[in-house]
Structure 1
Amino acid sequence: MQIPRKTGLIIIAALIIAAIIYGFLPKPVSVETVNIKKGYMKVDIEEEGRTRVMNRFIVSAPVAGYALRINLNVGDLVNKGDAITQLEPLRSNVLDPRNRAAAEASIKAAKANALAAKADSEFAQKELDRTKALYKDGLVSEEKLDAANAEALGRGAALRSSEFSVEVAQYELEAADTALKYSTALETGEQMEKVMIKSPVSGYVLKVNHESEGVVQGGEALVEIGDPKMLEVEVDVLSADAVRIRPGTPVLFERWGGESPLKGKVRVVEPTGFTKISALGVEEQRVLVISDIISPPEEWKALGDGYRVEAGFILWEAEGVLQVPSSALFRYDDGWAVFVMKGKKALLRKVDLGRRNGLSAQVISGLIEGDTVITHPDSSIKNGTSVTSY
């Protein structure tokens, strides 16, 4: 049956009108979405730092004299009492005997600190042993065990540091005795023997300050000795960030060259700051934060003095946190809001936020797990806008 000509024209006209109307209808906006979920979240401060030997000792000339060549290279192992060089004293001014009294006071203070550190270390070790037993019986958490282990490691490092200080103070006392002896010889006109300068501690040569033979002044640095196995990490942070960091704050050291991050703990936040010019030429107030590495030494044995690390000071962390990407948030009525995708519509939703770390924010209210939010919303998206996810 043929369609009447008039009817056919009407149908064609209707189709054309429908096509025109459809063409002018607003098309759904293509958007990127993400599902809200719970997970681990942390708030941290990230800065670049460097390692340094914890106990660095500078061997210096006790008196002015003519020093022989130092036949040591950086990295050489020296033991306590090994000869560094010989020094032929020059005629100089009489030295003050009060230096010896000061050295005696230093060694007494160092020994007292060593006794206190030993007691702290023994107590921490006992606490660790007790915690291990409780953990074995299922009475304490793994976090408690890790904390006790970290405390024992930290106290052990403090003990070794204080013992090193005793050795240094003993060397300073011997240096004062040497200086006093040779100054007395100058007064009486006695023949002066050469001074044998020995290493006060066992360790590795970190720097040779005066390699060639020649005249040196009293107190001039000759070599630097330390143990690269005893490292700490210094990081300069903005003063505004330093006030949020406390001794004991956990640290994660990343991008140091190893396969996995290293754990650490803040020991000292220095009380004074300094001015530093940033790469952009802006003056910044910075503060040094000193941290200990508490991961097992075998994990970071390749680290040395002056190596670069990236430190993340963990101010807060928690599991099972409902969080939303920062890219989905925007300001709305003095608060925060997101666009939730329901069906094919974008619906505006106000949210209350908790902790933020730059990448995501903790959701207190306004969203539930499984909600789909639009990230990077532009000005074309309004409440009720048709959207499609790509």
Structure 2
Amino acid sequence: MNKRQVAWWTLAIAATAALTVWALRPQPVSVETAEVVRGRFEQTIDDDGRTRVRDRYTVSAPLAGRVLRIALRAGDRVDRDSVVAVILPSVPVLQDPRTMRELEERSAAAQANVLRAEAFEQRARAALEQARVDSSRSARLAAEGFVSAAAREQSELAALTKERELEAARYERLAAERELAQARAALLRVRADSKTGVGTAFEVRAPVSGRVLRVLQESEGPVAVGAGLLELGDVSNLEVVVDVLSAEAVAIVTGADVHLALGDDKAPLRGKVRRVEPSAFTKISALGVEEQRVNVIIDLMGTGDALAAVGDGYRVDARIVVYSEDDAILVPAGALFRDGTGFAVFVVEAGRARKRPVDVPHRSNRMGLVAGGLQPGAHVIVFPGDTVRDDVRVRVRKP
């Protein structure tokens, strides 16, 4: 074999070795990345709830007898003092001393309810006056830079809440007065009919204006004293009830912002937390696990047009904001993974994955708030698999 053949064989062996090394070298891991950005961060508690009429009134039978068929149906509009049902008292009942005593006690209880409603209205009016004074003071101090905008908004929300509480107290008083009038009228009618021995029809009237939410006694039939006939309410005055885990409820404060969604094709609504109920209850989850839950009451915010499509008992998806920050450094939650007692991410630099610890004091389902370790503009690997390690070569997949 001459020198020329040796050179060719040497070159062939070297080329084969180079191709083998190139074929067996580690291939870059295909990854998906996202950019670290600045924006508003919100940590929320997500759960589903339902709407309900804030003030619901049950129209009940003021005396025993036979109620005629109620012509009203759910959704019908009724005015205050309009006739909603007619009851025909029976003669044996009219002559029953026990029934007479029940009507007298019912009238006395209705009188007590009126006094209580008046006291609640006076208390609500005093609370509203104080809330308006506090709101005016906060607005003045905020203009001078002594209090934050959040404190001013909180005082304005408190004043708005007190206005609605006064409105609710006023309706409660009107309803109590209407129930008292019904009870007294029933008592007078029974006393008069007891003397003649003939029962005359008694008209049951609506205590407030609103819409019929539910008819409890649709067909004609006998009713007892206090039996519910139908429910009334103002469907334009709604609230949302969301039951959350008691462990999460401790982070919810009065006045917190709430994002509400009725569906994919519906415009989202805004709300404010009015109250977190102090008592929890036990609820069985879909997995059969006992959970302690707490009701969170939310006021709907917005104009009448935005709330026109919402009714009583509608299901809503609620996101209650427990922490927010403007101009925060945001990283996708899918890029974060546990590293000891903290969090870390993989940053793509020069075609390689670089493990970097980060300080993340708050997280949501979609984003994490970065307090240190990352700067806007960095590209992090989202949902890194087991093949992604520190200093490994990566190839970014195009969407």
TM range (shorter): 0.7 to 0.9
* 1:1-390 aligned within 5 A: 4-90=4-90, 91=93, 92=96, 93=98, 94-96=100-102, 97-121=104-128, 150-181=157-188, 184=191, 191-256=198-263, 259-390=266-397
Task: Provide the rounded CA distance (Å) in 2 between the counterparts of 1:262 and 1:146.
Answer: 19
Deviation at 1:127, TM superposition (A): 7.3
| Contact 1:95–1:179 (Cα < 8 Å) also in 2 | no
Task: Provide the rounded CA distance (Å) in 2 between the counterparts of 1:62 and 1:307.
Answer: 32
Q: Give SS of 1:272's match.
A: coil
Task: Provide the rounded CA distance (Å) in 2 between the counterparts of 1:89 and 1:76.
Answer: 27
Deviation at 1:37, TM superposition (A): 1.9
Task: Provide the rounded CA distance (Å) in 1 between the counterparts of 2:304 and 2:132.
Answer: 18
| Contact 1:258–1:300 (Cα < 8 Å) also in 2 | no
- Name the amino acid aligned to 1:225: L
| Contact 1:239–1:287 (Cα < 8 Å) also in 2 | yes
- Name the amino acid aligned to 1:265: K
Q: Give SS of 1:353's match.
A: coil
User: Which moved further from structure 2: 124-133 or 27-36?
Assistant: 124-133
In 2 relative to 1, CA 12–352 (structure 1 residues): closer, same or farther, beyond 3 Å? Answer: same
Q: Give SS of 2:277's match.
A: strand
Task: Provide the rounded CA distance (Å) in 2 between the counterparts of 1:161 and 1:80.
Answer: 16
- Name the amino acid aligned to 1:357: S
In 2 relative to 1, CA 331–140 (structure 1 residues): closer, same or farther, beyond 3 Å? Answer: closer
What CA RMSD, in Å, does the superposition of the two structures yield over aligned residues?
Answer: 3.0
Task: Provide the rounded CA distance (Å) in 1 between the counterparts of 2:212 and 2:383.
Answer: 55
In 2 relative to 1, CA 84–259 (structure 1 residues): closer, same or farther, beyond 3 Å? Answer: closer
Task: Provide the rounded CA distance (Å) in 1 between the counterparts of 2:155 and 2:321.
Answer: 18
Task: Provide the rounded CA distance (Å) in 1 between the counterparts of 2:78 and 2:133.
Answer: 34
Deviation at 1:333, TM superposition (A): 2.9
| Contact 1:272–1:287 (Cα < 8 Å) also in 2 | yes
User: Which moved further from structure 2: 179-188 or 69-78?
Assistant: 179-188
- Name the amino acid aligned to 1:9: W
Task: Provide the rounded CA distance (Å) in 2 between the counterparts of 1:167 and 1:133.
Answer: 37
In 2 relative to 1, CA 265–100 (structure 1 residues): closer, same or farther, beyond 3 Å? Answer: same
Deviation at 1:255, TM superposition (A): 2.8
TM-score, length of structure 1 as denominator length: 0.88
Cα distance per residue 1:165-206 (max 9 Å; x no partner): 001211232243245445656876765543221111111111
Q: Give SS of 2:161's match.
A: helix
Q: Give SS of 2:270's match.
A: strand
| Contact 1:95–1:180 (Cα < 8 Å) also in 2 | no
- Name the amino acid aligned to 2:39: G
Q: Give SS of 1:51's match.
A: strand
User: Which moved further from structure 2: 220-229 or 355-364?
Assistant: 355-364
Cα distance per residue 1:30-85 (max 9 Å; x no partner): 22222222211101111111111111111111111112222212222111111122
Alignment length (residue pairs) = 388
In 2 relative to 1, CA 299–119 (structure 1 residues): closer, same or farther, beyond 3 Å? Answer: farther
Deviation at 1:8, TM superposition (A): 2.1
In 2 relative to 1, CA 70–381 (structure 1 residues): closer, same or farther, beyond 3 Å? Answer: closer
User: Which moved further from structure 2: 15-24 or 332-341?
Assistant: 332-341
Deviation at 1:150, TM superposition (A): 4.3
User: Structure 1: where are the runs of 5+ without partners?
Assistant: none
User: Which moved further from structure 2: 248-257 or 186-195?
Assistant: 186-195
Task: Provide the rounded CA distance (Å) in 1 between the counterparts of 2:273 and 2:341.
Answer: 37
Q: Give SS of 1:21's match.
A: helix
User: Structure 2: where are the runs of 5+ without partners?
Assistant: none
